[in-house]
Amino acid sequence: MSTSHGTGRLEGKVAIVTGAASGMGAAEAALFVAEGAHVVLSDVNDEAGMALAEDLGPNAAYVHHDVADEASWNKLIGLVDSTHGRVDILVNNAGLSRTGTLADLSLDDFDAMVRVNQRGVLLGMRAVSPAMRRAGRGSIINIASGAALRGVPGLLAYTGTKFAVRGMTQVAALELAPDQIRVNVIHPGAIDTPMHRENTPERQTELLALMPLKRLGDPRDVAEMALFLASDASSYVTGADFLVDGGAML
C-alpha cells in the first residue's frame, strides 16, 4: 500500500494506530503518512505490519504490541517518546469480532472480545493522555461500530463492547477536555476488510441489502473520517459520534 501525495494536514504530528497491519488501520496509517505524520503501526501480525511500514517509507515504523496488555502499552509509549518526544494522535482501531447469542456465546469468546475491544481502548487512552497533557493538546479517535448504536442479534459480546467504547469515549472526552485533548468515536458500517470477509456469503449479502448507498464501505472511507478528527479541522469537536455506514442506520 503506497501513499498518495497529501496536503500536509498532519505535518510534523506523531500518531499511533493500533490494529494497523490490515483493513481500516492500514488505510488510516497510509493516509496519515501521506498527510505528513510520523506513524507508529501497532499490531500482533508482525509479517503484515512490517511489510506495510516498509512500503509506507521512513515516516512509518511497526511495533509488535498487544493492546490488552498494560506493560505492552508502557513499552510502546516509552519507545515513541524516546524516538519522537511526543504523541499527538491515537487511533484505537484494533478490534475482534466473534459471533454468539445469549444462549450459545462462549465465555472464552466473550472474554477475548472484552480484552481487545474494551480493555484495549481503555489502556490506550490512559497510556497516551500524559504525553498529550504535557503537550497541551491531542486527539484520540476510537473505532467502534454501528453495533454501538443498536443491538445486533448474534453479536452479543461484540455489541456490548462497542457500546462500552462509545460510553468510555464520552466520559474520557469530558475528563480530558480541560487539557485540550479531544476524544471522538467513529462507527463504521459494513467495510470491505478481512474481518468483514469472515462473514458467510449470506451474511455479507444481508449487510449489503441494508445499505442505502448499495455498496460496501472502503477502508479509505473510515480513514478520511479519522484524518478529519486527527487534524486541526476538528479542533472544536469532542465527545462526538461519527457514522461511516452508507446510511445503514437510517
Q: Where in the sequence numbering do the catalytic residues fall? A: 158
Question: How many residues are present in the chain?
Answer: 250
> What's the burial of 127, exposed, middle or buried (CB within 10 Å: 0-12/13-18/19+)?
buried
In a 3-state reduction of DSSP, which class is residue 40?
strand
Beta-strand runs (E) in the chain: 14-18, 38-43, 60-64, 89-92, 138-143, 181-188, 241-244
In a 3-state reduction of DSSP, which class is residue 140?
strand
Contact 191, 23 (CB under 8 A): yes
Task: DSSP letter for 114, please.
Answer: I
Distance CA 199, CA 54 (A): 30
Question: Would you give the distance in Å from CA 69 to the centre of its chain?
Answer: 17
Contact 84, 135 (CB under 8 A): no
Query: Phi, psi at residue 132, to the nearest 5°?
Result: -65, -35
Task: DSSP letter for 2, please.
Answer: P
